[in-house]
Amino acid sequence: MIKKADLLIRVIVVGILTLLAWTEGQATMFICKNARGETQFTNVPSMPGCTEIVLPGGTMGHVSFGRRKGYDSGRYDRDIARVSRKYKVDPFLIKAIIHTESDFDHKALSKRGARGLMQLMPDTARELHVRDSFNPMQNIDAGTRYFKKLLNMFNGNVRLSLAAYNAGPRLVQELNDVPPFPETVRYVKKVLDQYRIYKISR
């Protein structure tokens, strides 16, 4: 059982790391306790007993919100419908994730290395046995398969599953809520808003 104080410290640290990652691309920090038992954060461990804090990663890289290149939003509808039936995930939700992640650019590449329509990170793609993340069908299939896994993990809670897709499942499990990071909060809202638009206009 994680103590509330420890959980709060983790949230603060991850928040700091997230901000650093946005500005520097990669960040490593350590949490240390001095002789008086006080908690300190540093990027240079200067005492014994320091623990490295790793920024939790989801499937995605940094999302560029509001990026619009004019890609055809209906181009992959057949592929989305096929994968939707295969994994029993609402096709409009899959489409909303793709809309938010890459704006339907199958060659999208984030600064952190996320690739393709559903912005698969290389490690995630390997775990999902994806040969080519820029192949639209492989990407949509793997991204939806991973999202279905998250839906099962969070008992069908779409909001938490989306947060885990963006920020990684571990922290979402610990908090049992959307992590209070601006990128993740915006991401979840944007996907859900776009999902409602697709549902209404179908």
pLDDT value at 4 more than 60: no
pLDDT value at 24 more than 60: no
Rounded mean pLDDT, 102-113: 94
pLDDT value of position 9: 54
Phi, psi of 121 (to 5 degrees): -75, 150
Average pLDDT, the chain: 80
pLDDT value of position 56: 43
183 is known as an active-site residue: no
The residue that leads in pLDDT, 31 or 26, is: 31
Domains of the chain in start order, with CATH, are: 4-53 (no CATH), 77-200 (1.10.530.10)
Q: Would you call 44 exposed, middle or buried from its count of C-beta atoms within 10 A (0-12, 13-18, 19+)?
A: exposed
The alpha carbons of the chain give a radius of gyration, in whole angstroms, of: 18
**Token pair 């909001």: residue:** 159
Phi, psi of 169 (to 5 degrees): -75, -25
The residue that leads in pLDDT, 13 or 114, is: 114
Which residue out of 101, 127, 174, 183 is catalytically annotated?
A: 101
pLDDT, tens digit, for every residue of 35-84?
666 666 555 555 566 665 444 445 444 333 344 455 777 899 999 999 99
pLDDT, tens digit, for every residue of 159-192?
999 999 999 999 999 999 999 999 999 999 999 9
Measured distance CA(97)–CA(80) in Å, rounded: 11
pTM over 0.75: no
The residue that leads in pLDDT, 2 or 163, is: 163
